[in-house]
């Protein structure tokens, strides 16, 4: 999430009650997760395993629960609970504002765009030209839709990320990480009925130009989908995944989190992708393998009874 204008790091420190170490004259431009941070961003870390990674990342300002050496030009904001500090900042700079009408007065709707009855458009949404938004589509706050986009009935754009912080201080429970990112949809995208595209936790979920989705597709938070991809029904993609250009996922393909599927890859129906895979190949299985090799394996599996009979017959 980018702030509307840069905020002095001293202001942030005062807001969350932090001890400030390092650059006290810095200006914070936004807040982001470690895998999405840019210079000027504020990030948080609350586990020793990730201290060094976060401090050495592109983030200029780090909310942390232990004092440490800080690189020149950066600052640490030391607090007891960095996660709660993150929530406080998000709730201040991106507060929840209830809607009172189907189309917010702050929404921008492009020329030639049609909104069918029951469509909901939230605060600060931007929809481009010549789009067709079918009945009961929900486009939530701050989402951006390009030109010539078609969204079929019942789809939700910008739902909260499925993202929780696990607490184990007394008993296991999950604390929701408030989503303040967006969904950004490119031009000439078509999205089927009853799909759900989650907003980024603090960055953007992105759907590239020309991508087409069937019904009942789910895209997780912070996922980046390239141009001209094709997703069939019941495809599910977990958070912070990268799908490069021209990828085809056939029905019921499941894709795990924080991985990359390379350009021009094709994955057959009901396959499961657990790790990054290179592009330009056809895959099948769970976990996926080269489709031709997987088919050969099936042929041999079918021969097992015959081979067994021959062995036992001897």
Centroid of chain to Cα 251: 21
Residues 247 and 225: their CA atoms lie apart, in Å, by 9
- Sheet containing 156-159: which strands, arranged edge to edge? 120-121, 138-139, 156-159, 196-198, 218-219, 236-237, 254-255, 272-273
CA 148 vs CA 133, 137, 248, 272: distances in Å:
10, 16, 21, 32
Peptide bond into 287 cis (omega under 30): yes
Ramachandran angles phi, psi of 295, nearest 5°: -65, -40
Helices within the chain (DSSP H only): 9-16, 51-55, 82-93, 291-313
Active site residue ranges: 221
Give the largest CA-CA distance in the chain: 85
Residues 312 and 245: their CA atoms lie apart, in Å, by 52
3-state secondary structure of 312: helix
Token pair listed for 90: 């998000």
Closest CA to 2 of 287, 258, 200: 200
Element (H, E) at 129: none
In the DSSP assignment, the letter for residue 246 is: T
């Amino acid at each position: 999430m980018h702030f509307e204008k840069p905020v002095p790091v001293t202001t942030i420190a005062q807001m969350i009650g932090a001890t400030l170490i390092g650059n006290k004259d810095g200006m914070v431009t936004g807040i982001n997760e470690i895998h999405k941070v840019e210079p000027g961003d504020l990030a948080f870390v609350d586990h020793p395993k990730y201290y060094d990674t976060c401090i050495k990342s592109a983030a200029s300002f780090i909310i942390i629960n232990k004092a440490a050496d800080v690189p020149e030009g950066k600052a640490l904001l030391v607090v007891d609970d960095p996660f709660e500090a993150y929530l406080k900042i998000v709730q201040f700079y991106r507060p929840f504002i209830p809607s009172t009408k189907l189309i917010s007065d702050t929404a921008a709707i492009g020329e030639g765009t049609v909104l069918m009855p029951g469509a909901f458009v939230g605060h600060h949404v931007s929809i481009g030209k010549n789009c067709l938004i079918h009945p009961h589509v929900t486009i939530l706050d701050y989402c951006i839709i390009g030109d010539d986009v078609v969204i079929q009935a019942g789809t939700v754009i910008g739902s909260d990320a499925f993202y929780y912080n696990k607490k184990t201080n007394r008993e296991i429970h999950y604390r929701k990480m408030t989503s303040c990112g967006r969904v950004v949809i490119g031009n000439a995208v078509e999205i089927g009925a009853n799909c759900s595209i989650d907003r980024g936790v603090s960055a953007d979920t992105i759907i590239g130009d020309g991508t087409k989705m069937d019904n009942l597709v789910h895209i997780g938070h912070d996922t980046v989908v390239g141009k001209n991809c094709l997703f069939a029904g019941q495809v599910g993609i977990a958070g912070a995944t990268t799908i490069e250009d021209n990828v085809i996922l056939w029905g019921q393909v499941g894709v795990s989190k924080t991985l990359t599927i390379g350009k021009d890859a094709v994955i057959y129906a009901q396959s499961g992708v657990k790790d990054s895979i290179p592009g330009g190949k056809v895959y099948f299985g769970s976990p996926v393998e080269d489709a031709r090799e997987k088919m050969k394996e099936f042929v041999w599996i079918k021969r097992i009874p015959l081979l067994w009979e021959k062995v036992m017959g001897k």
